[in-house]
A and B are shown apart, each in its own frame.
Chain A
Amino acid sequence: MTDGTADATGRSEADYYRPETVEAACRRLRDADGRVRIVAGGQTLLPLVRQGLVDADAFVDVSAVPGLSGVTVEDGRATVGATTTYAELADHGLADRVAALGEACAVVADRQVRTLGTVGGAVAHGDPTFDLLAPLRALDADVGLAGPDGRRRVPLSEFLIGHLRTDRHEGELVTDVTFDRPDPERSGSAYERHAAAGSGRATAGVAAVVTLVDGAVETARVACSAVADTPVRAHAVEGDLTGEAASAEAVAAASERAPADIDPIDDEAGSPAYKRRLVATLTERSLLSAIGRAGGSP
C-alpha cells in the first residue's frame, strides 16, 4: 500500500471494484480511500504492480462497463470505446478501411497483450512507444473523459502532454477516442514500424494518412512513435508534400525532412542518428503505402 504496509515480497492488500456503469466507476474513483488505479486489460499496469513499481489501495476494473466497449461509425465519425481491445479493433471493419489502425494493432507486443490490452489503456498510459498512438495522432483523434465534473473531450495532441504524462485529472476515466473516418474513396493510411528482434516495442514507427485529389496530395498527416516524449506529427514532411504530385520522387524528398520534428534519445534500441535515419525510411514506406491505398500510383 502507499502507506508502506506492503510485506517484504511486495504483496499488499487492495480493494477491488468492478462497476458496470461509467457513473458507478466515477463514484468509486472519487470515494475510494487512498491511491486508486483504473484497470481494464491490465497489460501495462499489472506488470508494474508485480515489479513493485506501482501499488494501490484500490483498483477500479472498468472492463465490465458495457458502454465503454466497441467500435461505432456514425456520420463519418468513428468512436472506439476505451475498453476495446487491440484484437477487437483489428477485427473491426474500420481497421480494414483505415489500414493504419489494423497495422498498428497487429504489431503491438505479443498475442496476450493484443487480446487483453485496451485502446483506452494505451491512451491513458501515454507511452510514446505504444504503436496505436501514432495512427491516432495522424487521424487527429480526440479523447473522451468522464469524471467528477462531468464529461469532456480533449484533442489527443493536447492530452499527451509529456513523457508518460497526460492531461487526465484526478478521478477521471478515459471513455473513448473519436476521429473523422478518412474519405474511403480517396484516402489511404498505413503504419510502418521497426522493432529490434526479440523486443515487442517499437524502436520507431510512422503512421501516414493521405487524401488525394486529381493525382496530387490534398492532405498528408504523418505521426511518429517512440522518437519524442509524445507521439509527434512530422509537420515538415506534411507541409512539403501537401499540394505536390503523389509521386515516389515527391514522397522520397519529403520523407528526408522527417527528422526535423523528432527528438530521439540514445537508449538500448539505438542511437539518435540511427533513429533519425530509420524514421525517414519508415516515413517513405508508410506514405507510399498510404498513397497506393488512396488510389494513387506513386
Chain B
Amino acid sequence: MEFEGTETVPVERSAAWDLITDPAVLTTCVMGAEEIARVSEDRYEGAIRQRITGIDVALDGEVRIEERDRPEWLRFTGVGTDSRTGSRMDADVTVTLTDEGAATELAYDVDVTFTGRLATMGSRVLRRQVRANVETYFENLVDRVEARA
C-alpha cells in the first residue's frame, strides 16, 4: 500500500536533514518507537510497540538508508518482524526536501507491505493504521521543531 504527502518544517534544509536522520528524533516522533539506535552511518535498529484496540503489535527491526543526496533527497527501507503473530512489515520510503524560504518542505512517498497474520487484517484496517502512523510521524516532527523555535 502506498501513501504520499507533504509536510513543512520551519527550519532550513540542512537542519531538516539532520532532524529526519537523528535516531533520537525518530524515537520521539514514531508512535510507539523504543530505543532506536544508529548502529552505523546508514543503519538504525529499534523496536516499535503499538497497542490498538484489537491487537498489540511489536515490531523489531532495522532501517537502512539505501540512497542519499544530502540535503535534497534520501531513500530508506525498513523491515520489522512481529514474532508473536509471525508477521513481517517491509517499508520503502523516499523523502524529498525542498527549500521554501527559511522552511523546508518534506515530500514523502511510502510503500508498505505486510506478510503473515497481520496481512489477514486486510486493507481496510491496515491502510488506515499505517497512514495514521505516517501522518503522525510528520506531524510530531513539525510539533517538535515548533516547540523549540
Q: Which residues of A contact B (CB under 8 A)?
A: 2, 4, 6, 35, 44, 48, 51-55, 124-129, 162-166, 168, 201, 229, 265-269
Q: Is B102 an interface residue (CB 8 A)?
A: no
**Nearest-CB residue, chain B, relative to A6:** B84
**17 residue pairs from A and B, CB less than 8 Å apart:** A2-B84, A44-B54, A51-B120, A52-B85, A53-B85, A54-B55, A54-B56, A126-B53, A128-B128, A129-B124, A164-B52, A164-B125, A164-B128, A229-B128, A229-B132, A268-B122, A269-B124
Please state if A54 and B127 are interface contacts (CB–CB under 8 Å): no
Please state if A267 and B123 are interface contacts (CB–CB under 8 Å): yes
Neighbouring A residues of B128 by C-beta, 8 Å: 128, 163-164, 229, 265
Q: Is B39 an interface residue (CB 8 A)?
A: no
Partner of A52, one of B52, B117, B124: B117
**What does the 1/0 interface line of B97-121 toward A look like (CB < 8 Å)?**
0000000000000000000011011
With contacts A2-B84, A52-B85, A229-B132 taken as known, whether A201 is within 8 angstroms of B55 at the C-beta atoms is: no
Q: Which residues of B contact A (CB under 8 A)?
A: 52-56, 83-86, 117-118, 120-125, 127-129, 131-132
**Nearest-CB residue, chain A, relative to B117:** A52
Neighbouring B residues of A128 by C-beta, 8 Å: 128
| Minimum CB–CB distance for B30 against chain A, Å | 15
Q: Chain B contact residues: over half helix, strand or loop, or mixed?
A: helix
With contacts A35-B56, A44-B54, A266-B127 taken as known, whether A163 is within 8 angstroms of B117 at the C-beta atoms is: no
Known: A53-B54, A229-B128. 4 other contacts (CB 8 A): A6-B84, A52-B86, A53-B117, A163-B129
Partner of A48, one of B55, B84, B123, B124: B55
**Nearest-CB residue, chain B, relative to A170:** B51
Neighbouring B residues of A168 by C-beta, 8 Å: 53
Q: Once bound together, how far apart are the Cα atoms of A269 and B118, in whole Å?
A: 19
Q: Once bound together, how far apart are the Cα atoms of A266 and B85, in whole Å?
A: 26
With contacts A51-B120, A53-B117 taken as known, whether A4 is within 8 angstroms of B54 at the C-beta atoms is: no
With contacts A2-B84, A162-B132, A163-B132 taken as known, whether A125 is within 8 angstroms of B54 at the C-beta atoms is: yes
Neighbouring B residues of A268 by C-beta, 8 Å: 122-124
Neighbouring B residues of A52 by C-beta, 8 Å: 85-86, 117
Please state if A48 and B127 are interface contacts (CB–CB under 8 Å): no
| Minimum CB–CB distance for A199 against chain B, Å | 10
| Minimum CB–CB distance for B128 against chain A, Å | 4
Neighbouring B residues of A125 by C-beta, 8 Å: 53-54
Q: Once bound together, how far apart are the Cα atoms of A53 and B118, in whole Å?
A: 7
Please state if A201 and B56 are interface contacts (CB–CB under 8 Å): no
